[in-house]
Amino acid sequence: MLSQHAINIIKSTVPVLEIHGTTITKRFYEMLFTSHPELLNIFNHANQKQGKQQTALANAVYAAALHIDRLEAILPVVKQISHKHRSLGVKPEHYPIVGQHLLAAIQEVLGDAATPEILQAWAEAYGIIADAFIGVEADMYHQTETQKGGWSDFKRFRIARKVKESDVITSFYLMPEDGAPLPTFEPGQYISIKLEIPGDTYTHIRQYSLSDAPGKPYYRISVKREDPMADRPEGKVSMFLHQGTKEGDAVLLSAPAGDFTLDQQDSRPVVLISGGVGLTPMVSMLQTLTATNPERQVTFIHAAQNGQHHAFKGSIEELAIQHPALNVYWCYDKPTASDRAENTFHREGYMTLDWLQSVVPTSAASFYFCGPVPFMKTINNALREWGIPEEDRRFEFFGPAGSL
């Protein structure tokens, strides 16, 4: 337990962290990877280059300081991050290394303002928070390894099939090399895939949502090819998966993880809203709902640039024919002439609150949404304006957690 004196000291640093948090975390990662380059085998290099990881960590440190007197308030965040840590292979021995370099970064960035008293208080607080992570993750590792078909860390799989779903999305059907049965998962969860890309010193790990229902003899992920754009380089892992792998190749997978999951005990109508490749966890949820609870009212809404970028369109429309309780709607912001001629979409442009209210039968529903951050901000703001309670607005970030 932290003393009240230590709590007061840490809370006094909140305004400083609000201003200098990202500078501290940027310096932290520089120091960490200089001293321990082997950790580059765990971290997402692209998120480092784009500053996403530094911002996510700064937000986490800020939240810890803000709620240091009631750490139970950040327990949901601890569990969410712990899912990612477990899927990446983060272990207890990594925490002292992180703590050492985080305190060193605080001291370097803040200079004389980081007094010995402040550093000591933060060292004590970090120890308590690290212990919380280690305890939660130990339970997750145990549950993952001891479940039916489970395993620890990474396991060899084969790419059984590659299926092109759209001009930019390809599905990978992954089966265990040893032929063992697969553990089940919750619709909405993800796996981590570890790859060695020729010419690169370090391995790459990426997390992809499972895009099929549980209970199959394979895991399916559906990956968008991240082509280079003016504001970002190409996605190294997605490009390699699309262009550098073939059926029969081996990859390493961690067991399913994640807390963005379908509440299957809820009998209320459910609304699944996605943008771009954010539809992958929604497809898993949809297939599960139609298979296990076909009477439950489901509204499935997806936004894509156009029909060429739209994955799973045909299979979802087929589900809608088979299940009267399912209604589907497509939004295209850049429809092609063919899309218009064939009348294959329901709205041109972006989703608005008025339009959502016109197609969603009731606000007394559970809403799940996923996609690019600007898209999710728009949906979250619309649902909040509609009066949808926070607990009924559930969403998933692809990559480090951000803020809506």
User: Which domain-ending residue is among 254, 282, 308?
Assistant: 254
Segments forming the whole domain that contains residue 56: 4-146
Q: Select from 294, 280, 297 the least CA-distant residue to 369.
A: 280
Task: Report helix, strand or coil for 185.
Answer: coil
| pLDDT at res. 194 | 96
- On whether both 191 and 92 belong to a single domain, the answer is no
The band of 399, judged by pLDDT with boundaries at 50, 70 and 90, is low
Residues 141-152, mean pLDDT to the nearest whole number: 95
Determine, yes or no, domain membership for 81.
Answer: yes
- On whether both 163 and 104 belong to a single domain, the answer is no
- Six-digit token string for 87: 């899927």
Structural domain count of the chain: 3
What's the sign of the alpha-carbon dihedral 35, 37, 40, 45?
A: positive
Question: Cβ distance 255 to 151 under 8 Å?
Answer: yes
- How far is Cα 139 from Cα 145, in angstroms, rounded to an integer? 10
Residue 135 is labelled as binding a ligand: no
Residue 45 is labelled as binding a ligand: no
255: DSSP letter: P
Residue 209 is labelled as binding a ligand: yes
| 95 is known as an active-site residue | yes
Determine, yes or no, domain membership for 404.
Answer: no
CATH code of residue 361: 3.40.50.80
Q: Which residue has the higher pLDDT, 56 or 361?
A: 361
- On whether both 139 and 203 belong to a single domain, the answer is no
- On whether both 228 and 205 belong to a single domain, the answer is yes
Residues 305-327, mean pLDDT to the nearest whole number: 97
Task: Report helix, strand or coil for 85.
Answer: helix
| pLDDT at res. 119 | 95
- Six-digit token string for 123: 């060292």
- On whether both 185 and 316 belong to a single domain, the answer is no
Spell 224-239 as b/e; 16+ CB within 10 A means b: bbbeeeeeeeebbbbb
Residues 208-217, mean pLDDT to the nearest whole number: 97
In tens, the pLDDT along 39-90 reads 999 988 777 777 788 888 888 888 888 888 888 888 888 898 899 999 999 9
- How far is Cα 44 from Cα 47, in angstroms, rounded to an integer? 5
| pLDDT at res. 71 | 80
Is residue 400 pLDDT above 70, yes or no?
no
- How far is Cα 209 from Cα 148, in angstroms, rounded to an integer? 21
Is residue 404 pLDDT above 70, yes or no?
no
Determine, yes or no, domain membership for 27.
Answer: yes
Residue 208 is labelled as binding a ligand: yes
Determine, yes or no, domain membership for 173.
Answer: yes
Task: Report helix, strand or coil for 204.
Answer: strand
In tens, the pLDDT along 264-298 reads 999 999 999 999 999 999 999 999 999 999 999 99
Residue 276 is labelled as binding a ligand: yes
| pLDDT at res. 57 | 85
CATH code of residue 223: 2.40.30.10
- On whether both 241 and 312 belong to a single domain, the answer is no
Residue 300 is labelled as binding a ligand: no
Torsion angle of the four alpha carbons 244, 247, 251, 255, in this order, in degrees rounded to the nearest 10: 130
Is residue 1 pLDDT above 80, yes or no?
no
| pLDDT at res. 151 | 96
Largest CA distance in the chain: 70
Question: Cβ distance 327 to 316 under 8 Å?
Answer: no
- On whether both 293 and 225 belong to a single domain, the answer is no
Determine, yes or no, domain membership for 265.
Answer: no
Residue 281 is labelled as binding a ligand: yes
Is residue 230 pLDDT above 70, yes or no?
no
- Six-digit token string for 296: 């439950």
Query: Around Cβ 132, how many Cβ atoms within 10 Å?
Result: 16
- The pTM for the full model equals 0.93
Determine, yes or no, domain membership for 401.
Answer: no
The band of 113, judged by pLDDT with boundaries at 50, 70 and 90, is very high
What residues contact 358, with CB distance under 8 A and at least 6 apart? Answer: none
- Six-digit token string for 163: 């299926």
Residue 168 is labelled as binding a ligand: no
| pLDDT at res. 403 | 60
Residue 62 is labelled as binding a ligand: no
Question: Cβ distance 376 to 277 under 8 Å?
Answer: no
Q: Select from 391, 392, 386, 393 the least CA-distant residue to 359.
A: 386
Residue 207 is labelled as binding a ligand: yes
Indicate which residue of 29, 62, 137, 332 is catalytic.
Answer: 137
Range ranked top by mean pLDDT from 1-10, 47-56, 204-213, 221-230: 204-213
Residues 253-263, mean pLDDT to the nearest whole number: 96
Amino acid at 205: I
Q: Which residue has the higher pLDDT, 324 or 48?
A: 324
Question: Cβ distance 355 to 330 under 8 Å?
Answer: no
% of the chain surpassing 70 pLDDT: 98
Question: Cβ distance 144 to 255 under 8 Å?
Answer: yes
- On whether both 205 and 285 belong to a single domain, the answer is no
Is residue 383 pLDDT above 90, yes or no?
yes
Tokens 């898993």 belong to residue: 284
Range ranked top by mean pLDDT from 61-75, 118-132, 317-331: 317-331
% of the chain surpassing 90 pLDDT: 83
Cα→Cα distances 215→35, 92, 150, 330, Å: 43, 32, 14, 28
Torsion angle of the four alpha carbons 126, 397, 356, 291, in this order, in degrees rounded to the nearest 10: -110
Indicate which residue of 29, 62, 95, 329 is catalytic.
Answer: 95
CATH code of residue 39: 1.10.490.10
